[in-house]
């Protein structure tokens, strides 16, 4: 079997957590969840709109599958109280996994400068990014903390990253996640505390979950997975997924799928010193699979395979910092791994590169030493566009940088600060080629711990499609669609960071809904109104007004709701 490939992306963040901001009910978050709880409490904590907007799927073993099916049928038919009661009575299902598909995806269009916010989650600890080349749709999967556990959510952008919509939320504990596109699906790998590595998949057209696929178990060795990384052969033969994991016994495992991603075969390297920092990628001959990791001796290692595995390392000393990451990318016979290197006083960001399919390696420095530069880094090298690198510098309030070079013996471009807000130093950013010569970047900001998206062609200035303020401190751009019968998105602009009040009134002037009452940064923002009042009840058909107030400025726009 010559068609293998690797995976990428591990992230298990071990550091002090900052508290995120509170959210209003339009974010559809269960902000009251502060610790791991039985899944019935997740459903019980949802408001009326969340319940009506959700389709649930309970992940169980065969011995309780009939009980789970009855609960799903009750919930998805609108019998919410009955479903919750059945869950309370079934102790076997209290710790089961639960997925929530949103009937109407939850859209976010809030910007901070040129950067678009992804979803409405906070306390984000892991981000994954990929693009579907056939549709141009972008996908961001984020793992976020609730109490001591991590949940994850799928987001899609159909407009090159300007706006994002959450389509799915995994409402149970996951230790690590990664995501990759293959064929017409986005695949999400996640590890659970039972010691298994699982897969779910989503349509690349609209981000909806493939209910018929359910979940597949790729790795089940009875040992917990410390890091996971998922990759595919999408850029080559478009055939296989490869699921990598560092196990809690320090073994590195790799399983590759059939063409339907429904069965898995182990093809693991002989590695028993893998500690952390896993990344993986796939390319064409002579080697299909590549992975990098930090060994138990705190050094860089690289493995690659086609019909057999090759090994390199220890290649360089990284250091003892527990959150350090490696990254790897390849194109043809050129392979590059980026990693932080500790020189005894400071860190610098280095790379190891082979132009001969691994036969010979050399190294260089991407950025000079500072306290913690390059601890978090990511690299992309797909589709003939060279290598794009993203990395962060030192401290709790870090700055993010982007650089690029061609594949062979060329210098790096000068570092460009990509983030319009402060980056979170201990969350690994993600970079991916999203169009010809264009790279997309996801980072997590500080202190709110939101996920933001930026593009290399946005770095030099404000998006040209952003409307002008005409000298005002704010501007209400109106809503779309209008008239509407389910929901409508209201857009507004701010010149500076201001306290914003955005409310909905009926034709008599009665307050119906408060959408925003908080500070927002400069740039374009948007928020969706679902035709409900402050009590969560559906409003009747009629004429309504959106009204924005910023300091002494106020502006209103008419909306028509047709039920």
DSSP 167-208: EEEE-S--SEEEEEEETTEEEEEEEETTTEEEEEEEETTT--
pLDDT at 350 (0 to 100): 97
- Torsional sign, CA 44, 49, 50, 54: positive
Q: How far is CA 528 from the centre of its chain?
A: 21
pLDDT at 276 (0 to 100): 98
d(CA 365, CA 412) in angstroms, rounded, equals: 10
d(CA 244, CA 232) in angstroms, rounded, equals: 11
pLDDT at 236 (0 to 100): 83
pLDDT band with cut points at 50, 70 and 90 for residue 468: low
Which residue, chain included where needed, has tokens 């980072």?
Answer: 443
- Of 189, 243, 251, nearest to 224 by C-alpha is 251
How confident is the model over 435-447, as a mean pLDDT? 91
Percentage above 70 pLDDT, the chain = 89
Asked whether the bond before 435 is cis by omega within 30 degrees of 0, the reply is no
Residue 162 · residue 463 · CB < 8 Å: yes
Residue 315 · residue 352 · CB < 8 Å: yes
Q: What is the pLDDT of residues 309-326, one digit of tens each?
A: 999 999 999 999 999 999
How confident is the model over 447-467, as a mean pLDDT? 69
Residue 277 · residue 327 · CB < 8 Å: no
Residue 264 · residue 256 · CB < 8 Å: yes
pLDDT band with cut points at 50, 70 and 90 for residue 159: very high
The pLDDT of residue 29 is above 60: no
Q: How many beta carbons lie within 10 A of that of residue 499, not counting itself?
A: 12
The pLDDT of residue 481 is above 70: yes
pLDDT at 285 (0 to 100): 66
- Of 99, 74, 266, nearest to 172 by C-alpha is 99
The pLDDT of residue 464 is above 70: no
- Of 421, 396, 323, nearest to 18 by C-alpha is 396
Cβ partners under 8 Å of residue 154, min gap 6: 139, 140, 141, 166, 167, 168, 169, 179, 186, 188, 202, 207, 209
- Of 476, 467, 478, nearest to 553 by C-alpha is 476
The pLDDT of residue 463 is above 60: no
pLDDT at 6 (0 to 100): 30
Give me the DSSP letters along 15-35. SPPPPPPP--GGG---TT--S
pLDDT at 467 (0 to 100): 56
Cα dihedral 62→67→70→75 (10° resolution)? -100
pLDDT at 458 (0 to 100): 77
Q: What is the pLDDT of residues 42-74, one digit of tens each?
A: 888 888 888 999 999 988 766 678 888 999 999
How confident is the model over 19-26, as a mean pLDDT? 27
How confident is the model over 111-133, as a mean pLDDT? 90
Write the CA distances from 337 to 174, 227, 291, integer angstroms. 27, 18, 9
pLDDT band with cut points at 50, 70 and 90 for residue 497: confident
How confident is the model over 167-193, as a mean pLDDT? 92
pLDDT band with cut points at 50, 70 and 90 for residue 40: confident
pTM for this prediction: 0.76
Q: Which of 62-76, 177-191, 278-292, 540-554 has the highest mean pLDDT?
A: 177-191
Half-sphere exposure of 69 toward its Cβ, with a 13 Å CA cutoff? 7
Asked whether the bond before 481 is cis by omega within 30 degrees of 0, the reply is yes
pLDDT at 380 (0 to 100): 97
Cα of first residue to Cα of last residue in the chain, in angstroms, is 57
Strands lying side by side in the sheet with 498-506: 511-520, 498-506, 542-550, 553-561
Residue 135 · residue 205 · CB < 8 Å: yes
What rounded mean pLDDT belongs to the chain? 86
d(CA 502, CA 484) in angstroms, rounded, equals: 19
Choice among 81-90, 110-119, 324-333 with the minimum mean pLDDT? 110-119
């Amino acid at each position: 079997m010559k068609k293998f490939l690797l995976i990428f992306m591990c992230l298990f963040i071990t550091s002090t957590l900052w508290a995120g901001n509170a959210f209003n009910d339009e974010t559809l978050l269960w902000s009251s969840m502060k610790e791991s709880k039985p899944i019935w409490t997740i459903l019980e904590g949802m408001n009326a709109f969340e319940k009506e907007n959700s389709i649930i799927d309970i992940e169980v073993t065969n011995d309780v599958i009939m009980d789970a099916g009855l609960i799903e049928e009750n919930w998805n038919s609108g019998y919410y109280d009955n479903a919750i009661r059945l869950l309370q009575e079934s102790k076997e299902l209290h710790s089961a996994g639960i997925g929530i598909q949103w009937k109407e995806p939850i859209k976010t269009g809030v910007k901070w400068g040129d950067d678009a916010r992804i979803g409405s989650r906070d306390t984000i600890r892991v981000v994954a990014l990929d693009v579907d080349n056939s549709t141009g749709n972008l996908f961001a999967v984020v793992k976020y903390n609730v109490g001591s556990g991590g949940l994850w959510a799928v987001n899609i952008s159909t407009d090159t990253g300007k706006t994002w919509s959450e389509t799915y939320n995994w409402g149970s504990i996951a230790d690590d996640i990664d995501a990759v596109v293959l064929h017409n699906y986005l695949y999400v790998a996640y590890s659970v505390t039972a010691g298994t590595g699982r897969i779910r998949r989503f349509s690349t057209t609209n981000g909806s979950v493939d209910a018929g696929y359910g979940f597949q178990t790729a790795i089940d060795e009875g040992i917990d997975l410390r890091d996971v990384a998922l990759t595919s052969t999408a850029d080559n033969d478009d055939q296989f997924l490869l699921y990598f994991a560092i196990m809690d016994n320090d073994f590195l495992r790799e399983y590759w799928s059939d063409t339907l991603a429904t069965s898995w075969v182990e093809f693991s390297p002989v590695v028993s010193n893998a500690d952390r920092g896993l990344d993986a990628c796939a390319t064409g001959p002579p080697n299909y699979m590549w992975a990098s990791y930090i060994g138990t001796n705190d050094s860089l290692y690289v493995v690659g395979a086609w019909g057999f595995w090759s090994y390199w390392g220890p290649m360089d000393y990284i250091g003892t910092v527990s959150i350090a990451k490696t990254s790897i990318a390849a194109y043809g016979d050129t392979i590059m791994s980026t990693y932080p290197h500790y020189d005894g006083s400071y860190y610098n960001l280095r790379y190891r590169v082979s132009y001969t399919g691994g036969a010979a390696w050399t190294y260089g420095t991407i950025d000079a030493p500072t306290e913690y530069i390059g601890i978090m880094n990511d690299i992309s090298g797909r589709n003939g566009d060279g290598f794009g690198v993203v990395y962060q510098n030192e401290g709790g309030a870090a700055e993010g940088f982007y650089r690029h070079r061609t594949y062979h013996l060329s210098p790096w471009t000068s570092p460009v600060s990509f983030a319009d807000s402060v980056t979170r130093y201990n969350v690994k950013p993600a970079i991916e080629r999203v169009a010809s010569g264009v790279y997309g970047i996801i980072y997590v900001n500080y202190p709110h711990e939101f996920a933001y998206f930026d593009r290399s062609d946005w770095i030099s200035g404000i998006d040209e499609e952003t409307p002008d303020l005409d000298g005002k401190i704010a501007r209400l751009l109106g809503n779309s669609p209008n008239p509407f019968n389910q929901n409508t998105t209201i857009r507004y602009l701010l010149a500076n960071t201001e306290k914003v009040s955005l409310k909905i009134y009926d034709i008599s002037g009665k307050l119906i809904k408060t959408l925003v009452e908080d500070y927002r940064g400069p740039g374009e923002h948007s928020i969706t109104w679902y035709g409900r009042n402050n009590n969560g009840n559906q409003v009747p058909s009629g004429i309504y007004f959106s009204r924005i107030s910023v300091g002494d400025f106020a502006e209103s726009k008419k909306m028509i709701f047709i039920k």
